[in-house]
Every structure is written in structure tokens, then in C-alpha cells.
Amino acid sequence: MRFRNAQRSRARLLLRVAPVAVAAALAAPAAAQGVIATGSGRAGAIVAWVVALIGVVAGGLARARSAGRVGTANGRDGAIVALVLGLMGMALAVLHLATTTGAFYGAGNGRAGAIVALALGLIGIVLGRRALARSSRTG
């Protein structure tokens, strides 16, 4: 019975992460090259920022669940989502930084936003890892 519940839990996790992962994978090349926005080079940084921010929120909620403050679950699924989205946000930010040229601040190409996305992605990864460690200790 536990094995079947674990399979269902993993399937639900995949259904949660897959749409965001597919959307980010499809938007990444165009966003990094600035094709999505009309004249603004910030689109890649904004996509990276949003993905990393969702990872931070998922990590915070997973950490609260693993501590028993919110909900009844142990937070394992949310922790994995936070790890994946944090890593994706960081990868998109690095891709944007690698493909943009120009000045660091004030050029309007989103380099500062990509650096913020790097920090948010790192925070999401740390929160997800801590929630995952706590959920494995508690159950």
C-alpha cells in the first residue's frame, strides 16, 4: 500500500513540475536572445527571475510543511519542486548573462535582473534542500 501511495505522490509531483519545466525550456532560447520582447532585452532575465521566485515560494512552503506549520504533508514534493525550479532559474539566468552584451547597469538588457535571479535560484535550492532534509528526518 505504501508503495502505491509513493507512486501516486511521484506522479502528482511530475504533473506539478512538468508544465513549468516545459514552458521554461520553450521560452529560454527566445528569452535569452531577447526575441520575446519588442526591443527589450530584459525578457530572459524576467523569465529566469519568475522561475526562481516560484522556486523560492515552493521551498518556503515545503519548509513550513516539513516543520508541521502548514498542512499535513511532510513537504517532500514541494522541496523537490523548489530544487528543480531553483536550478532552472539559475540556468536561465546564466544563459541570459552569457548571451547579453553591454554595460552592467543602465543598458536595459536585464543583466542586473539576471543576477537577482541567480540569487533567488540559490535561495530556492537552499530552502528546498533544507526542507528535503527535514522531511526525510521526520517521516
Phi-psi region of 101 (alpha: psi -120 to 50; beta: other; left: phi over 0): beta
Question: Tell me, what's the pLDDT at 64?
Answer: 81
pTM check: above 0.95:
no
Domain residue ranges in the chain = 2-138
Question: Mean pLDDT in each 10-residue stretch from start to end of the chain (139 residues)?
Answer: 58 63 60 52 84 90 71 72 91 87 71 89 91 73
**φ and ψ at residue 69, rounded to 5 degrees:** -85, -30
Name the maximum alpha-carbon separation found in the chain: 58
Question: Tell me, what's the pLDDT at 37?
Answer: 45
* Residue of 79, 86, 116, 78 lying closest to 24 (CA atoms): 86
